[in-house]
Amino acid sequence: MAGWTQIMSESREYPSRPICGVGIVVFDRHKVLLIRRGKPPRQGDWSIPGGKQKLGETLQEAARREVQEETGIEIGPLKLVDVVDSIFKDSQQRIQYHYCLIDWMGEYQSGTLNAADDAADAKWFDVNALQTLGLWDKTLEIIKKADELRKQ
């Protein structure tokens, strides 16, 4: 067991406790904003913008900052969509990543789309054409739930 505790740290990989993060579903009419992840976990995959909450930052502040940092755009009012656990185990079944993700939704407000920070790419996709992108099943669920909430 001593080896196990030595591996665990305050880093994102092999953390000593779950890391609080945010995900944001951003809409612009019938399109949803996705970023291609530039870092693990899921590096290279398309996803909604998001990231780790900073100390002293509210969840909504974290959501707005992450969208702005990764895409260069500003969003309107935020609405809570869901809370999701993202847990990855390594080949020895140790917890390699553990995030508690608070997912929000908002509408595009202003700015020019430009991938930056942790995002390798950023694009608008038709909401009805996401099945072919190989998105994480939870991401698809969150986008669908957000789309239903915005229609209410």
- Encode pLDDT of 4-26 as tens digits: 444 444 678 999 999 999 999 99
Residue range 17-150, CATH number: 3.90.79.10
Q: Per-residue pLDDT tens for 24-42?
A: 999 999 999 999 988 877 8
Cβ within 8 Å of residue 50, ≥6 positions away: 21, 22, 23, 24, 63, 66, 101, 103
| Most distant pair of Cα atoms in the chain: their distance | 53
pLDDT of res. 6: 41
Q: What pTM, to 2 d.p., does this model score?
A: 0.87
Q: Per-residue pLDDT tens for 100-113?
A: 999 999 999 999 99
